[in-house]
Every structure is written in C-alpha cells, then in structure tokens.
C-alpha cells in the first residue's frame, strides 16, 4: 500500500492539483452498499445466453487469465503505478468487462494481431456523411472552446449533443435519440467496445492528453479513427488508457462531488462501465445539495451490478495480484 501512496502523490505533483484536496473529500468506504447484486441488464444477459455461457463461467475465464499470466499482471501494476491508482481498479474493470460484456481471449498476442488489422482499416468517425470533427465545429459547440483538458472538452461536447441535438430536428436534419458515442464513434454497431480493456473510442479520445503526457503515446485524433482503434486494441496502450479513464473518474468524483472513491474498486468499476463520470458526479453533487438543504445525510456513490461483482470477488482478485 505504501508504494501505491507514493505513486498517488507523484501524479498530483505532476498534474497540478494538491493531495490536500483528496484528503478533504468524503471517503467512500470499501464494500457494497447493496446487500444483493442489482439486476443485470437484459443486453448483458442475452449476450451471455447467446454464447451458451454463464456469468460465472465468464468470470472464471478472466480470473484464470489474470492468475495464469504473470506478464499481464506486471503490465497492470506498471500502468497503475504510472497513473497513481491501486492496480485492483484496473483488475476490477477487466473482470467486469469480461464477465458481463465479452469473453476473455486466451492470449494477449491475439489482441496485438487484431490491433494491427485495425491500424490498416479505412474506418472513420461520422454520422450521415458528416465527420465528427466537422460536426463539433457547429456554433452550438462554441461554448466548449478553450477548455483545457480533453476530458472536459469531450464532456462539454457530449452535453451539447444531449441538450441541442439528441432526438431533435436541427436545420431540417433529424438526429437520432442515442448517445453521442453511439452516433459518431461506433461505425460497426452501437455499443461496441474494443480490446483487452473494452474501451470505446470516445473514452480514449477523452483521456488521450493524459496518456500522452504520462505514457508518451502519440495523441489520438478523431480524424484518424484507425489509430484510435489500434491504440485501444493494443494491450499495452489499452492498459494505459484504462488507467487514465479510471484516474479521470476518481478525480471527477473528488473535484465535483466531493467523494474520495479510491478505496472502493466497485465504484470505479461501475463508472468504467457506465461512463460520463463528470455528468454523474454533477448529478450526485446536486442531489446532495438538495438533501443537505432538507437536513438529510449525503448519498454515497453506489455500485451497479458490474461493480457489485468486483467488490464481492475482491479478496480473490487481490490474492491473484499478490495482495492481502
């Protein structure tokens, strides 16, 4: 644990905010808030049923992959150390994704091969013939200009999409009532995520500045979709992006909602699963302001079905990573 704390401090010295900010936040205790696992969505149940598998079998598959691959465990520790997070947060996200969304592949080499195939594809991020890069130049997005981080920039653009375009007719053009990422960033089919970390392209673009600064990988651009897919398919890069996404969620909940979620991998796994940490942190902060005004105690962040499993299996997962 002491080594993790050193890493945690170092990233804040590098990135700017002080550690005192974290200490002032309300600590979310370990463990699940729900006595029983929340309902698993129909889509996850159907995908698993269609493959004639079960959640338990898929959990055991990713657990065994982690337990049997010392190189992967070392890569996870290295990525976690670079981004100042406990490795168990990355493990939790991997377990959740491969239990409820996809089956784990047997060897990392399979992902390296697939990464190269995406690099040489001709895919692009667009909707109805308009690239996302051109789309976000529309005047509705002017308020997002000048934001310092990629996470803030893409979160702002997603908010504008939801407020001004989603399910609406603008300039005679009808836009789908769907997520920004599903509309522009998933050219194969909606909901698709990729690679070991099952990262979606919008999430990768939201933290590419952090990954460039800390890991040195080239910054990604929405105009170069194949490079985005190659980055999230390559296991080494994918782990860096996973760590950055988790780091960003931790920071968002600290800065916006006033909660320190570093001791609860089920919460970080939940946010990895559902995305949009800034919007969710704002909603939680708003709810807690109302509760405070009514003399009620604050509502803590809660795990969903995905994060619940991570917390439930935490002792086993820590043991795999050589932790007590």
Mean pLDDT by 10 residues, the chain (324 residues): 32 36 79 96 88 91 94 96 98 94 59 56 86 97 95 97 97 95 73 74 96 97 91 89 98 97 98 95 97 97 97 97 79
- Rg of the chain in Å (alpha carbons): 19
Collapse the DSSP code of 131 into the 3-class scheme (helix H, G, I; strand E, B; otherwise coil) and give the result. strand
Q: What angle do CA 35, 311, 43 make, to 5 degrees?
A: 80
Q: What angle do CA 233, 272, 155 make, to 5 degrees?
A: 95
C-alpha of 7 from chain center: 20
> Can you give the pLDDT at residue 286?
98
Query: For the chain, what is the HEC assignment?
Result: CHHHHHHHHHHHHHHCCCHHHHHHCEECCCCCCCCCCCCCCHHHHHHHHHCCCCHHHHHHHHHHHHHHCHHHHHHHHHHHHHHCCCHHHHHHHHHHHHHHCCCCCCCHHHHHHHHHHHHCCCCCCEECCEEHHHHCCCHHHHHHCCCCCHHHHHHHHHHHHHHHHCCCEECCEECCCCCHHHHHCCCCCCCCCECCCCECHHHHHHCHHHHHHHHCCCCCCCCCHHHHHHHHHCHHHHHHHHHHHHHHHHHHHHHHHCEECCCCHHHHHHHHHHCCHHHHHHHHHHHHHHHHHCCCCCCCCCCCHHHHHHHHCHHHHHHHCCCC
pTM for this entry: 0.86
> Can you give the pLDDT at residue 50?
84
> Can you give the pLDDT at residue 324?
58
Collapse the DSSP code of 56 into the 3-class scheme (helix H, G, I; strand E, B; otherwise coil) and give the result. helix
| Cα(98)–Cα(272) distance, integer angstroms | 13
> Can you give the pLDDT at residue 43?
87
Tokens (6 digits) for 201: 């392209």
> Can you give the pLDDT at residue 233?
83
> Can you give the pLDDT at residue 4?
33
> Can you give the pLDDT at residue 110?
61
> Can you give the pLDDT at residue 2?
31
| Cα(216)–Cα(47) distance, integer angstroms | 36
Handedness of CA 159, 94, 209, 301 (dihedral sign): positive
| Cα(235)–Cα(191) distance, integer angstroms | 20
Total residue count of the chain as it appears in this document: 324
Tokens (6 digits) for 27: 């600590």
């Amino acid at each position: 644990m002491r080594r993790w704390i050193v890493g945690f401090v170092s990233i804040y010295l590098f990135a700017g905010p002080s550690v005192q900010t974290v200490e002032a936040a309300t600590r979310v205790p370990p463990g699940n808030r729900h006595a029983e696992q929340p309902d698993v969505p129909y889509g996850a149940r159907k995908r698993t049923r269609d493959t004639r598998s079960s959640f338990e079998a898929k959990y055991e598959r990713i657990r065994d992959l982690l337990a049997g691959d010392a190189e992967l465990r070392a890569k996870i520790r290295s990525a976690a150390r670079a981004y100042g997070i406990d490795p168990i947060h990355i493990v939790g996200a991997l377990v959740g994704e491969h239990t409820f969304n996809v089956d784990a592949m047997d060897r990392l080499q399979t992902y390296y091969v697939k990464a190269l195939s995406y690099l040489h594809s001709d895919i692009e991020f667009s909707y109805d013939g308009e690239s996302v890069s051109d789309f976000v130049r529309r005047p509705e997005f002017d308020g997002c200009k000048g934001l310092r981080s990629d996470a803030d920039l893409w979160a702002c653009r997603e908010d504008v999409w939801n407020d001004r375009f989603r399910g609406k007719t603008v300039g005679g053009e009808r836009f789908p009532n769907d997520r920004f990422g599903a509309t522009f960033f998933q050219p194969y089919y909606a909901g698709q995520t990729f690679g070991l970390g099952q990262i979606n392209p919008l999430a990768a673009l939201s933290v590419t500045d952090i990954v460039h600064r800390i890991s040195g990988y080239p910054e990604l651009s929405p105009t170069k979709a194949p490079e985005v897919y190659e980055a999230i398919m390559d296991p080494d890069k994918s782990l860096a992006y996973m760590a950055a996404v988790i780091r960003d969620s931790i920071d968002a909940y600290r800065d916006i909602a006033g909660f320190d979620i570093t001791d609860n991998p089920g919460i970080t796994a939940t946010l990895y699963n559902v995305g949009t940490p800034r919007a969710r942190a704002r909603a939680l902060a708003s709810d807690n302001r109302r509760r405070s005004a009514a003399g009620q105690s604050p509502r803590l962040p809660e795990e969903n079905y995905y994060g619940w499993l991570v917390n439930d299996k935490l002792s086993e997962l820590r043991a795999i990573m050589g932790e007590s």
